[in-house]
Structure 1
Amino acid sequence: MRLIISAYLRTLRERDEFDCLLPDLAIAMGYTPLVRPQTGVRQLGVDLPVAGKNPDDDVEELVLFVIKQGDIGRQEWSSTVQSVRQSLEETLDVYLTKYVEPAHQSIRKKIVVATTGDLKQDTQPNWNGFIEKYKETAVFEFWSGDKVADLIERFMLDEHVFQEEDRVGLRKALAFAGERDYSMLDVDRLLTRQLGLDSQGELPATAKGGKTLAKAIIRLNLALRMFTKAAQDAGDTRQALWAAEHFLLKTWHRVQLSDDDLKDKEVMKAFELLHHSYFEAGVAYLTKLAPHLQTRDGMSGYTGESAEYAIVLLEHVGLIASFGIALYGADKSAEGQEKAGRVAELLCAMLANMPATASPRLDQNAIDVSLALLFLSLVEKFEEIRDWVYELQGRLVFSLVQGWGFPISSDSFDDLVDVAVFHDEDLMKDCVGSSWLAATLATWCVVCDMKEEYKHLVRSLKRKVPQLRPQFWHPDAESTKRWYFEDVHFDTGATEVLDLPEDMEDARGRMIQFLREKEWNVQTSTSAVKAGFLWLDLLNCRHYRFPVSARTWYALAVRPDDASVQQDVGE
């Protein structure tokens, strides 16, 4: 395992990768970071200051990290203002003389040069001479990549809490990280064991929370970072983002099972590490995807509008939308909203440049469509919403009436092949049944006040495909207990079959009436909402593939001038 960690460390950049790992290691060693590394801020030679008791001699100390990347040779030692020697001198001359807090004045001062590589032999005399010169001012240590790997294995993956079974599972996961068809079973087992859950997601009586759980989450964050890095290096940023979603949701499921853990500051601080890792994986995913999204048919290669192509596109639509919703909900600052706006621009470019995004081939793509429409409504892209809804409902009606190219009600890819390639007529008839997508588009026509499109959709469905049944799934209180762990729509909640009226205002009235039903207003009191992570309740829909609650967008159908309705529904 140490060799794996050491090899992983050598792939990390200094900024936003290695400097994000070291605070986690410091916490695991018992130190408290005083600030987090921040790009663009003058650091006076110090990248990361931490304070606490040394785990080896139990002496209180202030540790100042100077973080570098790769091997340290003569050029890296002293050639520019960013070299090691210059950073150390600035730490001694400025930071230690002017910026040490009063509480840390009397404790031991240690300066650690941490790098992902090694100290080259030709630079060893320079290092020895420097620490000899300043030995009265501070204690000096050099942490090579191997040293950091050793500390990670000792304090984050120690034998007592990271058993051999988990080590083997992590090795297998890293080996298959770049394989699109990898089942992630090893990752799931690792998560379940580390979080102390049984196979059903329940918490045994012997499970430990608090500090023990916080340490487990920190270890899982390291495992996640290793996996996402391996997947990204193999070219699969989508797999990396999926893994980050999985770690985030399963961990939140475990945290919310205990009120004590929800209130534990260490647990919540550890969970935020996973939170940050998810956003980093999302940024890497979008950075790779952006040039293709902004080019006409930039993701098609040499293919046309095939069923497989449409499925891949809608998967990316869901990934981008759920990431955008998370970004919008997690950071309400002007900068955060600007970032969410840029993600929305990329999504809009994708919808405009990839016409096949308006041709879902699986009814479950209603999940991705719903998330995309919700995200665009959050950032007020209403014109783009109307354009896409217009295309979606038009293509849905056309494909259903023609009897080919429609989204099948089955979630089986084998069924899709039989329908799309072999034109199995009996199966085609069986696959025109319940439809989340028809219900979704009809109600979004109401939200967008698209009267003609709504009328065309409803009349066409009733007259041309009367066997199709628009429906919604509504979660109940039982659903919210497990929906961070697995798909819950088969055995919790309730399914509503919609009899869509031809008059759009009647449909609006029914939607508002549903909003008044308090029994189904469960999403305002989930554990994620109470903790400020509302976006988790939408991320789980995409990840576990169960329908987004229609109530989420029903509120958009309430007109601004109808104050009485707004008061009744509490939106």
Structure 2
Amino acid sequence: MNTSLRLLLEDFLGLMREEGELDVFLTLLLSGMGHEIISRAKKGVKQYGVDVSSVGTDKADGRTKLFLWVVKRGDIGRAEWNGSQQSIQYSLDEVVWTYLPSHISPQHAKLPKKVMVLTNGDFHPTLNLAIATTFKTLSRRHGVKFELVNGSILAGWAEEHLLDEHLLPKEARTLLRRMLANISSSETSLQPGRELVAQLTNLATTQDGSENARKKHRLGALRGIRTALSLARSYGLSENNLSVAYKLAEFAVLRTWAALHVEGKQIVYIRDELAALRIQWAAIALEYHERVQPYYQTQDAFASILPDSLLVANRAFEELGRLALQTIFWGNLGAQTGLPVGENLARHSSSQLQVLLETHSCTSSPPYDRHSAVIHATLLALMICNERETAERWLETLIVRLFHATHNKRYWPVDCTFEEALEIREGEKDLTEESSSTSTIIPVFLIWSAALGREDFYSTVRENILPTIPKWTTSNLWSSDSGYDSVVGDAKLLFEHGVAEGLLHVPKTASEFLARLSVPLQGVEPVEQSEWYQQRIPLIPILASLHWGSQVPRMMLIEHAMALCGKSPANYDAAAN
């Protein structure tokens, strides 16, 4: 058993809150141990002492039993044992006098019962006599067994069943330690974290062994990824740096989707694990944005922590893209499920986004051409929340700023390294063909101007900006092709994929422009045949574009904009013909 990893796990588990963290992790662990989860803790529901119940094999005697889990956080002293109605003693009384007689389903009634008292801390030695007496008395009266589980035992179970030697070999364990040891430094920690997720994803795709063996490998690897993300989150909280957990969760969603999207369509447990990973990403994101919110609310706050305006603008656009994606994710979830929480969280993220637009004027001047994906996602998010006026106002400002950049090309959105961009911005170097050969921002401006019905915006881009852009710059669109879902988890494969298309002729009217773009590019696979489209997960292509700095697929751009602006693609298809 690896002592250093065990200590990491024990520290990580010790940071968990009782409600919503420790109990949730326990259900994940029990699933890894082969238990069937019967009930989980639910807020607002009377539990009669039992936080989680499960059916599984008791290693002590090899028998199948009904396990009733009483979960408490932290070290257990006399006050926690029997000092109030929230104490363990009170919970145990509820278990034996109320839960056991009336809350056991018929199919589990004949199973032996075992009550597990679990904490992520330790039980104080002075309680030994009281615990032994309580367990002996209750066991004799009610015919059930009792057992204590402390943080060390819990960490051992996690290591054995979520991160065992077979699922997490020596090299992967080294990567996990490197990731956690450098959690305060984003890039230094992120690289081993990505390598770890990639290794576990490869293990999840193994075709060796029987179906049961493959299922065990897949579940173990996917739950290992979720455990690694939980570790990154907890250690990130202690170091006040959640960006590693956030970016790693983005990567994990993309990497696992690329590897398992076909199996996820066919196999329920894989689909459920991929969905759980997306929810974990969204939960980390919500926590991250709540911590960063003071910077959104304070005028030009990012300028106080970053040394250069180029870095400030880039950070502001990164935050815009993330908030927009959260809005899109929760809005889509709410629309699909009808649950109010989806719409509420979408509006919350949208409000944070709008505050950032107001407090940081740099959000109207993208420093890099890759921010075209951010602009599209942000406009999409605003329209999802019926903020059309804000969307139009921001788009107008973006267009005006880009027009000024055609005359002062130091501020033209570039595609190059930070060092070269800084030299151009400070006038130490002229704008080069290599740094501005294509513009993916101009097509986004044209599409959204046309979809919003703003002929004035469209004309400004067509007549005032296009004639004055750098002479070597070509407006560029990009279409995904067959196999797109399989490359979203790898930057190199994604940039080699698909078909680029120069926008060489821009029609005079916005309606004609939409009509032409509504016709898919010949010879490429329609987006409707992509797995993300068929499985109704639009998060995937937008997340890939934002995470890797790539383009949003052409037909997704046009269909998103037209749908949210009340345009009918069918009408424009007819016009094009």
Structure 2: tracts of 5 or more residues without a match: none
Matching of residues 358-377 of structure 1 within 5 Å: 358-377=364-383
Residues 328 and 337 of structure 1 are in contact (CA less than 8 Å); yes or no, is this contact kept in structure 2?
yes
Q: State the Cα distance separating 1:564 from its structure 2 match.
A: 4.9
Cα 1:537/1:462, change in 2 over 3 Å:
closer
Matching of residues 110-509 of structure 1 within 5 Å: 110-136=114-140, 137=142, 138-182=144-188, 184-196=190-202, 206=208, 209-256=214-261, 259=263, 262-301=265-304, 306-331=309-334, 332=337, 333-408=339-414, 410-425=415-430, 427-428=431-432, 430-465=434-469, 467=471, 468-498=473-503, 499-509=505-515
Residues 28 and 156 of structure 1 are in contact (CA less than 8 Å); yes or no, is this contact kept in structure 2?
yes
Cα 1:155/1:481, change in 2 over 3 Å:
closer
Q: Which amino acid aligns with 1:310?
A: A
Residues in 2 aligned to 1:56 and 1:163: alpha-carbon distance in whole angstroms: 28
Cα 1:481/1:394, change in 2 over 3 Å:
same
Cα 1:235/1:304, change in 2 over 3 Å:
closer
Q: Which residue of 1 aligns with 2:39?
A: 35
Residues 322 and 371 of structure 1 are in contact (CA less than 8 Å); yes or no, is this contact kept in structure 2?
yes
Residue 536 of structure 1: which of 540, 562, 576 is its match? Answer: 540
Q: Which amino acid aligns with 2:128?
A: Q
Residues in 1 aligned to 2:207 and 2:220: alpha-carbon distance in whole angstroms: 19
Q: Which amino acid aligns with 2:297?
A: Q
RMSD of aligned residue pairs (Cα, Å)? 2.5
Q: Which residue of 2 aligns with 1:46?
A: 50
CA displacement 1:430-472 (0-9 Å, x = unmatched): 5343100111112111111122122112212233225232111
1:550 equivalent to 2:554? Answer yes
CA displacement 1:365-423 (0-9 Å, x = unmatched): 11111111122222222111111101111111111222222211x23112112211353
Residues 487 and 544 of structure 1 are in contact (CA less than 8 Å); yes or no, is this contact kept in structure 2?
no
Residues 296 and 354 of structure 1 are in contact (CA less than 8 Å); yes or no, is this contact kept in structure 2?
yes
Matching of residues 67-86 of structure 1 within 5 Å: 67-86=71-90
Cα 1:358/1:62, change in 2 over 3 Å:
same
Residues in 1 aligned to 2:179 and 2:46: alpha-carbon distance in whole angstroms: 38
CA displacement 1:28-72 (0-9 Å, x = unmatched): 111111233333332221111111222453211111111111100
SS at match of 1:119: coil
Instruction: Normalising by structure 1, report the TM-score.
Output: 0.92
Cα 1:193/1:465, change in 2 over 3 Å:
closer
SS at match of 1:300: helix
Q: Which amino acid aligns with 2:342?
A: G
Q: How many residues align?
A: 559
Residues in 2 aligned to 1:391 and 1:129: alpha-carbon distance in whole angstroms: 73
SS at match of 1:533: coil
Identity among equivalent pairs (%):
21
Q: Which amino acid aligns with 1:31?
A: H
Instruction: Normalising by structure 2, report the TM-score.
Output: 0.91
Q: State the Cα distance separating 1:300 from its structure 2 match.
A: 3.0
Residues 74 and 121 of structure 2 are in contact (CA less than 8 Å); yes or no, is this contact kept in structure 1?
yes
Cα 1:521/1:386, change in 2 over 3 Å:
farther
Structure 1: tracts of 5 or more residues without a match: none
Residues in 2 aligned to 1:299 and 1:277: alpha-carbon distance in whole angstroms: 27
CA displacement 1:277-301 (0-9 Å, x = unmatched): 2122011112112232233334332
Q: Which residue of 2 aligns with 1:90?
A: 94
Q: Which residue of 1 aligns with 2:105?
A: 101
Residues in 2 aligned to 1:568 and 1:54: alpha-carbon distance in whole angstroms: 67
